[in-house]
Amino acid sequence: MSDQADLPVPITAERDADGRLVSLTFDSVPPLPAPENNPWLVAVDGSDNALRAVVHAARQAGELKACALHLVNVQHWFSKEAAETELAPRAWLATARARALLDAQGQPWRLHVVMGDPADQIMALAVRLGCNGLVVGNRGLNLVENLLFGSVTKKLMRMSGPPLVVVP
């Protein structure tokens, strides 16, 4: 796990009614100049499929005059104590390749880290940000969950929200 000292300071941190840390937001350096300008959300879980989604979104962002790339990483629920020590490092590790790819291309980003059901949290964030598009890989990391509960991508396809781009 990443050392807490290696993590940047989040620009926002949200807590639930019990005081549990449930959401963090981090900006690239330099940060997005206008995060609300044509926002697109890319779901990132550390898988190769998610990385292909980031590549696709970065290519699309480069073709648009203005596009703000937002990344989202959804972690399963942690206890109040575990959220304080585990939420940020786990998300930072899971998004490392995606962030590095965007940084290498000079593409600013904003990372949103949330806890909960992945499909619900991804769609809720996309709607809250007013995203013009949502980009996901066709499969994530966890094959067992996919077999038991259905894929996050399939759930997102059944939800109402911004246009969904599924990258194979």
Report the CATH number at residue 30.
3.40.50.620
Amino acid 161: pLDDT: 84
pLDDT surpassing 60 at residue 150: no
Mean pLDDT of 132-145: 74
Residue 91 DSSP one-character state: H
Q: Collapse the DSSP code of 43 into the 3-class scheme (helix H, G, I; strand E, B; otherwise coil) and give the result.
A: strand
Domain housing 10: 4-167
Sheet holding 164-167, edge to edge: 12-15, 21-27, 109-115, 68-75, 39-43, 133-137, 164-167
Structural domains counted in the chain: 1
Confidence of residue 65 (pLDDT cuts 50, 70, 90): confident
Nearest to 70 by CA among 120, 32, 29: 32
Nearest to 74 by CA among 132, 17, 6, 156: 156
Give the residue, 54 or 63, on which the prediction is more confident.
54
User: Is 102 within 8 Å of 69 (Cβ atoms)?
Assistant: yes
The pTM (predicted TM-score) of the whole model is 0.91
Nearest to 108 by CA among 7, 28, 20: 28
